[in-house]
Structure 1
Amino acid sequence: MRTGERFVDVAMPAAYTPAAPHGGTDDYRCFLVDPGITGTSFLTGSQFLPQNATVVHHAIFFRITPDQAAEAQRTDAGTPGQGWTCFGNAGIADTAAWVASWAPGADETLLRPDIGYPMAPGSKLVMQVHYNLLAAKPGDTDRSGIRLRLTDQPGLTPLDTFLMPAPVELACGPNEEGPLCDRAAAVRDVAARFGDGALGAVTGLNRRCNGGRRPVASTRTQCDYPVRQAATIYALGGHMHLLGRSVKVELNPGKAGATTLLDVPSYNFDEQGITPLTEPARVKPGDTLRVTCTHDVGLRHQLPQLRDQPPRYVVWGEGTSDEMCLGVVVLSTATA
């Protein structure tokens, strides 16, 4: 352990039995956990501890204030069983900050000792776990947790997480057919499984990244994000589901001095994580960040998790049989 740091382990209060709503195969469940922060601290690293890797697809941790924690407690108390359903975010506060995440293949996310996510006194965490039940056995439960690396040393550079999603539009393959190969039907299916917010994500990403033009199916997708405020980027990651082939994040593509900040040419769902930059990258207003992903619908016939799933037109969605294209940027506006 580095000087001045300590480990704190937190876990779900009790074992949870995943159950996918609306006839789907995916369950997003949020749990309130308390790391016992009594003074100003910084989170400098994290290691998710999946208790049942057969059903845990990925996990995200959101930092919430004491007031937001009270809202989370009310939501938990008003929801049958342990925790509450939370597609897309923490399910209780749009301002909850993403401070840790895990996907298969990731070990500890270890940041530089001079940077960290600030944790004010009384801060708690919402642990969002995505359970995929395609390989689940009857009675499968999970009681995952996380090991937090914390320091009380003052003067660390405070971090934020900036997310860069891009739309996904994947048509059925040449030898595939079925009712869900129709885009409109596939979008209705996503909304039925995950709610109106899922429909909003599909339409919102098309509007944000394609100017609202009619969607065109393609194995390649991208989205540009203008830099609004000077910042320093310290680490990046990319997230897709099982049809992902490659993911890249670029700074000022097509311009003089363009830089590739993240390049994963052979994406493997079972080998994900946040990658620190060797040298932090400074960005300023007027710069552009671009995320680009490629997908391969042919993988649907090769992967055991998807072979028995009906062919579908794939759009952005929370399920393992849906897809994502997401750049994750760890940055600070305090040092720029």
Structure 2
Amino acid sequence: MRFARPATAAALAATLLLAACGTDDPEPAAQAPPSSPHTGHSASGSAPPAGPLRQGERFVEVGLTTPYTPAAPNGGTDEYRCFLVDPGLTEAAYLTGSQFRPQNAAIVHHAIFYRLDPEQAKAAEKVDAGTPGEGWTCFGDSGVEGQTAWVAHWAPGAGETLMPAGFGFTMPPGSKLVMQVHYNLLGAGDGGPGSDASGMQMRLSSAPGLKPLETGLVMAPIELPCAPGESGRLCDRDTAVADVGTRFGAESAETVKQLNQWCNGGGVPKSGNTQSCDQPIEEGGTVYMAAGHMHLLGRAIKVELNPGTAKAQTLLDIPQYNFDDQALVPLAKPIQVAKGDTVRVTCTHDAALRKQLPQLQKLPPRYVVWGEGTSDEMCLGILVMAPA
């Protein structure tokens, strides 16, 4: 998953959104599920029911009213499809919680909800109307011009996500949402992927005194060579990067280049299981919640503040990553950050898992870089913060 395509190093830096707020401890928003060994994506199990409404909250349902049958373009095995959904807002509100419901869990890899202002919503309606079938293709982002705010997401293992008490994502009157769904057709059975009619139950509140939240992302490159004993044309890095561009578009291949520029100074890519990236903070703030996102080859992810200094703190530490355990969870205590601080994300991947996981076993080995596909990889820290 990705908040914005980094067309330049400056744009990549802009994906880290940090702002200040108070220091009162919030109520826990979600409990982290117990960790379990890495097994790859599983469609088993169902999310528990939503908790009781808090003061001022109401439930609103959004999602697909007509089932959609995904089809991966360009010879790939993944489709990112965006759908315009309308919560029917006639007055300002805050999104204070969400529970995504993947109707066809076998093929839903993740979902992200982007808020559109009324003018952007009109533009999205035109994109939708000009695209055959339900929704439109949207690798990487919402597919709508301009800045769109990430206000909710789901990945396997997440149930209902509650924002800290007293906080929420702003939803102006007339605003709508783009629901981006990543369909992983490697998860389809012999009968094909089937259709999907996923949706989300939102908690909306118009209670006075709520403070706004923002989502910030920290990214690192992936430079994972083929495992010992593996060979093939995609084990060549340049060929693998070109293949990402073929499946998802030239901007995806450019993202690989820009991540190397931002995190490695544009030098010769440093291949290996573990990669990291330091990103400077341009505005102070307080971090309340965090999650990590990788794909099926992920082993560990860590997000640190000011590593290697006297001010070092850990924002997120998942030493045994499990793709089916990606819930957004509250920090034990909110952590303040300041302008000039550094956030580092570090990920470890393991190419040997390719031979162990059913969805990947039949695919040719490849040098793995950042890419949208389930057989590609990501290294992404997701932070929820409240501006002043």
Does TM, scored on the shorter chain, surpass 0.5?
yes
Q: Are residue 305 (structure 1) and residue 371 (structure 2) matched?
A: no
Q: Distance in 2 between matches of 1:221 and 1:292?
A: 6
The answer to whether the Cα contact below 8 Å between 1:229 and 1:333 also exists between their aligned partners in 2 is no
Q: Deviations over 1:116-174 (max 9, x none)?
A: 10100011000000001013132600000001011001221111111111100000011
Q: Deviations over 1:21-58 (max 9, x none)?
A: 00100000000000111111111111100000011010
- For residue 146 of structure 1, what is the aligned residue in structure 2? 200
Letter paired with 1:36: G
TM-align CA RMSD: 0.9
Choose which of 169, 184, 198 in structure 1 pairs with 2:252.
198
Taking the TM superposition and a 5 Å limit, the aligned residue runs for 1:19-98 are 19-98=71-150
Taking the TM superposition and a 5 Å limit, the aligned residue runs for 1:256-335 are 256-334=310-388
Q: Which runs of 5+ in 1 are unaligned?
A: none
The answer to whether the Cα contact below 8 Å between 1:5 and 1:149 also exists between their aligned partners in 2 is yes
Q: Distance in 2 between matches of 1:240 and 1:278?
A: 23
SS in 1 for 2:242: helix
Letter paired with 2:355: H
Q: Distance in 1 between matches of 2:353 and 2:199?
A: 31
| Percent of residue pairs identical | 60
Q: Are residue 14 (structure 1) and residue 85 (structure 2) matched?
A: no
Q: Distance in 2 between matches of 1:116 and 1:177?
A: 49
- For residue 117 of structure 1, what is the aligned residue in structure 2? 169
Q: Distance in 2 between matches of 1:18 and 1:207?
A: 34
SS in 2 for 1:134: helix
The answer to whether the Cα contact below 8 Å between 1:233 and 1:282 also exists between their aligned partners in 2 is yes
Report the alpha carbon displacement of residue 279 of structure 1 after superposing the two structures with TM: 1.7
Choose which of 254, 261, 269 in structure 2 pairs with 1:207.
261
Q: Distance in 2 between matches of 1:94 and 1:164?
A: 20
Q: Deviations over 1:209-238 (max 9, x none)?
A: 111111121100111111111111111110
- For residue 180 of structure 2, what is the aligned residue in structure 1? 128
Q: Distance in 1 between matches of 2:345 and 2:130?
A: 39
The answer to whether the Cα contact below 8 Å between 1:41 and 1:151 also exists between their aligned partners in 2 is yes
Q: Distance in 2 between matches of 1:138 and 1:219?
A: 33
SS in 1 for 2:324: coil
* Change over 3 Å in CA distance of 1:260–1:201 after alignment to 2: same
Instruction: Give the TM-score normalised by structure 2.
Output: 0.85
Q: Distance in 2 between matches of 1:283 and 1:165?
A: 18
Q: Distance in 2 between matches of 1:237 and 1:288?
A: 18
Comparing 229-238 with 317-326, greater Cα deviation is found at 229-238
- For residue 273 of structure 2, what is the aligned residue in structure 1? 219
Letter paired with 1:4: G
Report the alpha carbon displacement of residue 282 of structure 1 after superposing the two structures with TM: 0.8
Q: Distance in 1 between matches of 2:333 and 2:187?
A: 41
- For residue 240 of structure 1, what is the aligned residue in structure 2? 294
In terms of fraction of residues, the more strand-rich structure is 1
The answer to whether the Cα contact below 8 Å between 2:185 and 2:193 also exists between their aligned partners in 1 is no
Q: Distance in 2 between matches of 1:131 and 1:186?
A: 21
Instruction: Give the TM-score normalised by structure 1.
Output: 0.98
Asked which structure has the greater RCO (Cα within 8 Å, sep 6+), the reply is 2
Residues paired across the two proteins, number: 334
Q: Distance in 1 between matches of 2:282 and 2:76?
A: 39
Letter paired with 1:169: E
Q: Are residue 230 (structure 1) and residue 284 (structure 2) matched?
A: yes
Q: Deviations over 1:291-333 (max 9, x none)?
A: 1110000000000010001000000000000000000111122
Q: Distance in 2 between matches of 1:299 and 1:94?
A: 38
Q: Distance in 2 between matches of 1:120 and 1:94?
A: 17
Comparing 184-193 with 153-162, greater Cα deviation is found at 153-162
SS in 1 for 2:202: strand
The answer to whether the Cα contact below 8 Å between 2:71 and 2:79 also exists between their aligned partners in 1 is yes
Report the alpha carbon displacement of residue 84 of structure 1 after superposing the two structures with TM: 0.3
The answer to whether the Cα contact below 8 Å between 1:71 and 1:92 also exists between their aligned partners in 2 is yes
- For residue 172 of structure 1, what is the aligned residue in structure 2? 226
The answer to whether the Cα contact below 8 Å between 1:234 and 1:276 also exists between their aligned partners in 2 is yes
- For residue 183 of structure 1, what is the aligned residue in structure 2? 237
